[in-house]
């Protein structure tokens, strides 16, 4: 009897102990579940908060991107308008020459017509057929010269309009030599009009075998105008501090290669330091003082040449000058 009670007491103790363990495990599991649930809730709330922050940052970034694009568009337009302003000044000077010829030959022609009228008012015996023919020939020559210089003025105005109008993206057969010569002179006279102290020399060496190639003339004109303006700017800056023996010079060459043509713009300015030469085609990078350049000229030029499936390279030596080389495919 005592043994039975002892056994039962032991069993009860085991069962109680086992129950306690089960309850402890169950309690531990519940606590773990609650802890895990709360932890997951915290993680979920943290992720939710982070998502909201990301959404807010995304909205802000999209707004900033729109503002940057708007600013970039304004700067690009500013660069184009700056070039257009310099071009217009050059046009005003260049167009004055043919207009002067037109005016002068018109005045002379009017005087010749009056002489012819006077001659024809004479009696038959006093009139000279030779004199009348000479006057008529002179008038004819003057009209030919007026026509020539009128077309010259028309060509300059057409070039300015092509430069200023929106890009139609249409390639057309273009005389690169003529285009380069036009914009070189417009750049020179534009800078002269802008800065009366500006003084530089320019030379050309054109390969006449190039003929015409298919390009967008107003776009290539913008590239050339930018390169010419930069070249004249750098030689003029060097002139201000150089000795009297220094002659600021810009050389423009064209060459025909096997499957491409080259346009070379070389100046004898101060050159570009090695540490920045790799940056010059980056947007908004400029070596000019604040307010004198947007840093988009060479970047836009690079994009235009690439759009023509061409290449633009730069070679420079500090203290001696810089050479830009454009290669355009002959299609």
Question: Sorting pLDDT into bands at 50, 70 and 90, what band is 5?
Answer: very low
pLDDT digits (tens, 9 = 90+) for 238-293: 998 888 899 999 999 999 998 999 999 999 999 988 888 888 887 666 666 554 55
* Alpha helix ranges (H) inside the chain: 2-120, 129-164, 176-194, 217-241, 274-277, 297-307
pLDDT tens digit string along 205-225? Answer: 999 999 899 999 888 988 998
Q: Which structure tokens are listed for 210?
A: 């190039």
Give the torsion sign (CA, 155, 156, 159, 164).
negative
Sorted by where each starts, the structural domains of the chain and their CATH numbers stand as 171-331 (3.30.565.10)
pLDDT at 4: 45
The residue among 93, 146, 147, 138 whose CA lies nearest residue 115 is: 138
Residue pointed to by tokens 């908060």: 49
228 closest CA partner among 184, 260, 262: 184
pLDDT at 281: 80
**Residue scoring higher pLDDT (118 or 313):** 313
Q: What is the chain's mean pLDDT, rounded?
A: 80
Give the span between the Cα atoms of 51 and 58, in whole angstroms. Answer: 10
- Annotate 226-288 with DSSP letters as a single string: HHHHHHHHHHHHHHHHS-TT---EEEEEEEE-SSEEEEEEEE-SS---HHHHTTTTSTT---S
The DSSP bridge partners found for residue 314 are 324
Predicted pLDDT at 189: 83
Q: What residues contact 218, with CB distance under 8 A and at least 6 apart?
A: 162, 163, 165, 167
Reported pTM:
0.58
Rounded CA gap, 149 and 161, in Å? 18
Interval 70-88: pLDDT, tens: 766 666 665 665 665 655 6
pLDDT band at 90 (very low <50, low <70, confident <90, very high): low
Going by pLDDT thresholds of 50, 70 and 90, the confidence category of residue 159 is low
Find the mean pLDDT for residues 180-193: 86
Query: Does residue 39 have a pLDDT over 90?
Result: no
pLDDT band of 175, cuts 50, 70, 90: very high
Mean pLDDT throughout 184-211?
87
DSSP-derived pairing of the beta strands 249-256 and 201-205: parallel
Report the interhelical angle of 129-164 vs 176-194 (nearest 10°): 80
Residues 111 and 98 sit within 8 Å (Cβ to Cβ): no
Indicate if the pLDDT at residue 167 is higher than 60.
no
DSSP-based three-state secondary structure for 211: coil
């Amino acid at each position: 009897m005592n043994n039975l009670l002892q056994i039962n007491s032991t069993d009860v103790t085991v069962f109680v102990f086992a129950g306690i363990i089960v309850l402890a495990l169950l309690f531990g599991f519940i606590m773990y579940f609650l802890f895990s649930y709360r932890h997951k809730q915290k993680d979920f709330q943290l992720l939710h908060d982070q998502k909201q922050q990301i959404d807010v940052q995304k909205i802000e970034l999209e707004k900033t991107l729109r503002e940057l694009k708007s600013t970039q568009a304004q700067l690009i337009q500013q660069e184009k308008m700056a070039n257009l302003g310099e071009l217009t000044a050059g046009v005003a000077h260049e167009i004055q020459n043919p207009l002067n010829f037109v005016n002068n030959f018109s005045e002379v022609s009017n005087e010749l017509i009056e002489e012819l009228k006077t001659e024809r008012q004479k009696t038959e015996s006093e009139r000279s057929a030779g004199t009348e023919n000479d006057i008529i020939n002179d008038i004819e020559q003057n009209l030919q010269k007026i026509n020539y210089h009128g077309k010259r003025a028309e060509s300059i105005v057409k070039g300015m309009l092509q430069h200023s109008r929106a890009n139609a993206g249409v390639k057309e057969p273009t005389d690169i030599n003529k285009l380069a010569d036009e914009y070189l002179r417009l750049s020179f006279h534009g800078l002269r009009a802008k800065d009366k102290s500006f003084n530089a020399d320019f030379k050309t060496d054109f390969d006449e075998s190039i003929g015409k190639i298919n390009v967008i003339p107003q776009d290539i004109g913008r590239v050339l105008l930018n390169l010419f303006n930069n070249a004249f700017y750098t030689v003029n800056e060097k002139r201000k501090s150089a000795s009297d023996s220094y002659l600021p010079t810009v050389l423009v060459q064209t060459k025909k290669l096997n499957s491409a043509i080259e346009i070379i713009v070389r100046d004898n300015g101060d050159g570009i330091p090695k540490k920045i030469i790799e940056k010059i085609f980056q947007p908004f990078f400029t070596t000019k003082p604040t307010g004198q350049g947007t840093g988009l000229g060479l970047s836009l030029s690079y994009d235009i040449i690439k759009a023509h499936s061409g290449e633009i390279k730069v070679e420079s030596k500090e203290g001696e000058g810089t050479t830009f080389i454009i290669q355009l495919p002959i299609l």
